[in-house]
Structure 1
Amino acid sequence: AQVSPFRDLNIDVTLNKTFTKDYSELQKDTGANVGIRRYNPYATGSFSVSYISYQTLFTKFDPNEVSALFKTFEANRIILSNRLGLDNKFYADPNNRTQDGYVRGYGRYAQDVLIPAFLAAYTKKDPTQVELIKNSNQNLRSNPFSRILPKPNWNITYNGLTRLPGFEKIFTNFTLRHGYSSTLSMNSFTTALLFQDPFRVGFPSFIDTNQNFIPYFLVPNVTISEQFSPLIAGDMTFTNQLSARFEYRKSRTLSLSLIDYQLAENRSTEITIGADWRRKGLPLLSKLRIGKNAKPLDNDVTMRMDFSLRDDATSNSKLDQNTAFGTSGQKVIRIAPSIDYVVNNRINLKFYFEQNRIIPKIATTAPVTNTRAGVQVRISLAQ
């Protein structure tokens, strides 16, 4: 949906939700008196939804230190265990505790505990109010994540600054941009064949050898991917034919494995600055002649400068280990000045230089520098 609250301000709002599910079962006629029976029901699927998780995007991050958010995630588990123990009145006993204080059936590594504890920590929600995962499958359309509603993502553009007093004397155009998108996804969930709910009340009843209830759906991985693209960006054109641009981006990907109980967190920050200046002729070229009767070289010259800096880092943290370590990361610096000169209506010259420097954050990776420079001649043969 597109909204324009007032002139020159445009807001694009999107909400997305995707749920796919495949179901199979074996039906067998076991006899005239019994009829058809159903065996081995099995469901697979995936789920993704537009989300909002920027509340914790700007917190301190050191890939080699356990973050405060991860510690909050660990602390949320006991709260969710107590909450689930009270909700599951049919099969759980809040007074029946394990040695580490969790309700039996909802331990520190139980899937129904980990997913809401993770979402509460990294979206700054109250763990007593965060959405829980369903454990029922009445029909093919039953969605275990239906309580997680899509949240709005947005893109905002404003180009009305030149209408403000004083700005029109400096700029011919000034556009500001801002955008945010986030996706929560749980891919490749499957039916747990050992799930039991004899009373059909929507709660698990069978406890495995790890003293955890087996949920109806097994989710191997939960991912949150978000980005401000950009957080703030501006494109401006001055009255003296100078154009400038800036952009600041920030992104994060969180991937929680429910198999080995590790969280991989990747953060990226990128700053881009650029400028173009166009003028008629250069003093250094105005005195040059090509040919005996040639005119001075005073055609259009465009000078361009681009600079960008990107900082990436990835960290792995494992539950209850009190350790974190960086697995990858790098700084990428790019600088690219160039000059375009129009010799005539057939010949264009371009002088360019570009350097990319990759500075790794891992000792086992060597730094890399790539440099390109040269002169490019473009000749038009069109009549």
Structure 2
Amino acid sequence: EFSKKLSDSALNHIPGYIQTFIDEPDSSRYGFDGYSVLQSEVLLNSFFSAYGYQDAQSMSRIDFKSILPMPNWSINYTGLMRIKSFRKVFTAFAMSHSYKNNLTVQNIQTNMLRAQNIQNDPGNPFPRNANLDILPEMQIGQVSISESFAPLIGIDVRTRKNTSFKFEVGKQRQIALSLANNQITESKATDVTFGLGYIIRDVQFTIVDESGQRNNIKSNLELKLDVRISDNQTVIRRILEGFNQPTAGQRRTTIKLTADYRLSRRLAAQFYYDQTISTFKTSMAFPTNQWQSGIALRLNLGN
């Protein structure tokens, strides 16, 4: 149910890297001695190979100095408005796409336990920890990768008939390898947003003041409807035990409806309706349905 192809790929690279380390020219070890599935160098190299920061075919040691960040980009395209038939229907037609990536290595430092053991026993260049794994030269606490398509695809349209339309799909992912407790934490989220707007021009209201005099107000009535559906989950992959455990996640639907009307140059009124429906993916929380509605007045004191 909680299949994680990339996490599985990281674990599948482990045997290859174990063989790489024990076959090194300066290695005096045989078999898997000193390099279990929990040895930090094995885990790090397998993790980076699975997520594209290292060539998985070469099975070579990773060099942190050679790691280059993934490129980030943002694309906005409005070229369709150059087409005459589009300009007859739309006043604006924009498409967007964006990608962001961040790699973080936390708590990287010289392995003082290894240095102390070598100082105490110079004849043993490969000191080991309590798990009988070879102590690496560098000690790393956690490696995390975050990626986001915000949006993966976005369309923003305004027509000549006072209608606007917006559609966006976004995806986010965060993966963290913790070498303190030997587990991979993966969080994923998908957002889909629909937006619809319409302007009713020259809507007229009649207001009677305290003296009984009728005052006519004419302004545009702006209607907006936004529906957002988001789905996220967090899964912990325990490497030694070999199973996935969902720890958090929910599916949320948000509905927002507004109607804006300007009563005067300084005073505007808005009717709003907000509703949020949430269902959770763990047994620790119950489904919720929250909504609020009302009328808000905004007074502009500026010039």
Question: TM-score when scaled to structure 2?
Answer: 0.87
How far did 1:75 drift? 1.9
Distance 1:340 1:108, change over 3 A: same
Letter in 2 for 1:216: E
**Cα distance, 1:123–1:153 mapped onto 2, change above 3 Å:** same
1:343 counterpart = 2:263: yes
Instruction: Quote the Cα distance in structure 2 between the aligned partners of 1:215 and 1:368.
Output: 49
- Do structure 1's residue 115 and structure 2's residue 115 form an aligned pair? no
Which of 255, 271, 285 matches 1:365? 285
8 Å CA contact retained: 2:20, 2:60: no
- Give the Cα–Cα distance (whole angstroms) in 1 for the partners of residues 192 and 226 of structure 2: 11
2:29 is the alignment partner of 1:74: no
Change (3 A) 1:126 1:150: closer
Query: Which residue pairs with 1:89 in the alignment?
Result: 25
User: Relative to structure 1, is the Cα distance of residues 131 and 345 closer, same or farther in structure 2, using a 3 angstrom cutoff?
Assistant: farther
Structure 2 CA distance for partners of 1:146 and 1:379, relative to 1, 3 Å: closer
Residue in 2 aligned with 1:35? none
- 1:249-268 equivalent positions in 2, closer than 5 A: 249-268=170-189
- Partner residue in 2 for 1:352: 272
C-alpha change, 1:169 and 1:130, in structure 2 (3 Å) is farther
Matches for 1:259-338 after TM superposition, within 5 Å? 259-282=180-203, 286=204, 288-291=205-208, 294=214, 296-338=216-258
Q: Deviations over 1:25-48 (max 9, x none)?
A: xxxxxxxxxxxxxxxxxxxxxxxx
Task: Compute the displacement of 1:231 (Å).
Answer: 0.5
1:107 counterpart letter in structure 2: S
Indicate if the aligned counterparts of 2:198 and 2:222 stay in contact, CA closer than 8 A.
Answer: yes
* 2:190 counterpart of 1:190: no
Structure 1 unaligned segments of length 5 or more: list them: 1-61, 135-144, 199-203
- Conserved in 1, the CA contact under 8 Å of 2:105 and 2:144? yes
Which residue pairs with 1:44 in the alignment? none
Q: Which residue of 1 aligns with 2:136?
A: 215
In structure 2, distance between residues paired with 1:381 and 1:227: 40
Instruction: State the shift of 1:73 in Å.
Output: 1.8
CA distance in 2, matches of 1:172, 1:371: 34
Matched residue SS, 1:266: strand
Task: Calculate percent identity across the aligned residue pairs.
Answer: 26
Higher normalized strand content (fraction of residues): 2
Q: Deviations over 1:284-304 (max 9, x none)?
A: xx4x52236646544211111
> Secondary structure of the equivalent of 1:290?
strand
Q: Can you give the 5+ residue segments of structure 2 that lack an aligned partner in the other structure? A: 120-124
Match of 2:122 in 1: none
> Once the 2 structures are TM-superposed, how far is the Cα of residue 257 of structure 1 from its aligned partner?
1.3
The SS at the match of 1:325 is: strand
Q: Which runs of 4+ in 1 moved over 6 A?
A: none
Q: 1:110 to 1:336 in 2, by over 3 A?
A: same
Letter in 2 for 1:191: T
Task: Kindly indicate whether residue 65 of structure 2 is the aligned counterpart of residue 146 of structure 1.
Answer: yes
In the superposition, relative to structure 1, how do residues 214 and 133 fare at CA in structure 2: closer, same or farther (>3 Å)? farther
CA distance in 2, matches of 1:326, 1:340: 43
Is the Cα contact below 8 Å between 1:116 and 1:132 reproduced in 2?
A: yes
Counterpart check, 1:206 vs 2:127: yes
Q: Which residue of 1 aligns with 2:164?
A: 243
CA 338–209 in structure 1, closer or farther in 2 if over 3 Å, else same:
closer
Distance 1:296 1:375, change over 3 A: same
Report Cα offsets for 1:99-135 as digits up to 9, x if no partner: xxx3x2322111111111112223396523366345x
Closer/same/farther in 2, CA of residues 209 and 322 from structure 1, 3 Å limit: closer
The secondary structure found in structure 2 opposite 1:274 is strand
Task: Measure the CA separation in 1 of the matches of 2:60 and 2:199.
Answer: 56
Match in the other structure for 1:9? none
Residue 127 of structure 1 aligns with an amino acid whose one-letter code is A
Displacement, 1:66? 4.5
1:42 maps to which residue? Answer: none
Counterpart contact for 2:96–2:155, Cα < 8 Å: yes
Deviation of 1:330 after TM superposition, in Å, equals 0.8
RMSD of equivalent CA atoms: 2.4
